């Protein structure tokens, strides 16, 4: 999952950016509203975390401009504790949820999972295709209802990218896009290696290789 963090405060931004990476998101960080809009115009994101007090274009303007362009990206606003008015304007302006500063990182991550779940059209916290299931809160996978297996951050990101769209074939670059943020070094065979490790852990039938195109997991039976 690729997340765009829009936050001008260097300390808060750094803390959130680090927590996102630790939680296995491919996370990019921009510090003003105009850059956020430019970035969102040329890169697909699964979720946006938007601070409201930003230099130049503020968060509410960024939100308005995104929704005016019919960009449906799930979006969580980050507001000051006393900003009831801003929170209401944010929610009415098309934000999916908010967190108030200061917040616990665990709460932010849980709210992100909840928004992604609702946007994905599933009520259940665990995603799966009938063969393999994956719990985003614990990064555990299980095959055929078997015992849970712990995945690394990147193994989790890759399997999640495939499982949110069973039946869709994702190329190497599409997978890299969902696993690595800006500035993270990508080894040339990283995706193949992660697939190899996942198959060894979960069984070779879990991820299918479509030769010359990419990889997929089967649609639910
Ligand atoms: Ca700010």
Residues ≥6 apart with Cβ < 8 Å to 218: 129, 130, 131, 166, 167, 208
CA distance 154 to 136: 12
Q: For residue range 43-76, what is the model confidence (pLDDT) as tens digits?
A: 999 999 999 999 999 999 999 999 999 999 999 9
Residues 48 and 90 sit within 8 Å (Cβ to Cβ): no
Over the stretch 102-113, which tens digit does the pLDDT of each residue have? 899 999 999 999
Cα 53 to averaged position of ligand 1 atoms, centre (Å): 4
Residue 9 Cα, ligand 1 centroid: separation in angstroms?
A: 6
Over residues 169-175, mean pLDDT: 95
Determine the distance separating the centroid of ligand 1 and the alpha carbon of 30, expressed in angstroms.
12
Distance 87 CA to ligand 1 centre (A): 14
- Token pair of 124, please? 């259940």
**196 CA distance to ligand 1 middle (Å):** 42
3-state secondary structure at position 102: coil
Tokens standing for residue 143: 């095959």
Q: pLDDT tens-digit profile of 134-156?
A: 999 999 999 999 999 999 999 99
Q: What is the pTM of this model?
A: 0.86
Q: Is 200 helix (H, G, I), strand (E, B) or coil?
A: helix
């Amino acid at each position: 999952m690729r997340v765009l963090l829009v936050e001008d405060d260097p300390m808060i931004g750094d803390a959130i950016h680090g927590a996102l990476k630790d939680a296995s998101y491919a996370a990019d960080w921009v510090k003003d509203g105009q850059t956020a809009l430019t970035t969102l115009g040329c890169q697909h994101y699964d979720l946006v975390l938007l601070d409201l007090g930003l230099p130049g274009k503020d968060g509410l303007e960024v939100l308005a401009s995104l929704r005016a362009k019919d960009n449906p990206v799930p979006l969580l606003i980050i507001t000051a504790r006393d900003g009831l008015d801003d929170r209401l304007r944010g929610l009415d302006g098309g934000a999916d949820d908010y967190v108030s500063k200061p917040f616990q990182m665990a709460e932010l991550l849980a709210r992100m999972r909840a928004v992604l779940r609702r946007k994905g059209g599933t009520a259940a916290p665990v995603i799966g295709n009938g063969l393999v299931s994956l719990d985003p809160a614990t990064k555990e996978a299980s095959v055929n209802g078997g015992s849970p297996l712990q995945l690394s951050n990147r193994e989790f990101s890759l399997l999640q990218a495939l499982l949110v769209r069973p039946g869709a074939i994702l190329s190497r670059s599409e997978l890299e896009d969902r696993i690595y943020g800006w500035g993270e070094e990508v080894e040339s065979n990283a995706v193949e290696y992660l697939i190899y490790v996942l198959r060894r852990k979960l069984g070779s039938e879990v991820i299918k290789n479509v030769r010359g195109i990419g990889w997929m997991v089967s649609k639910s039976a």
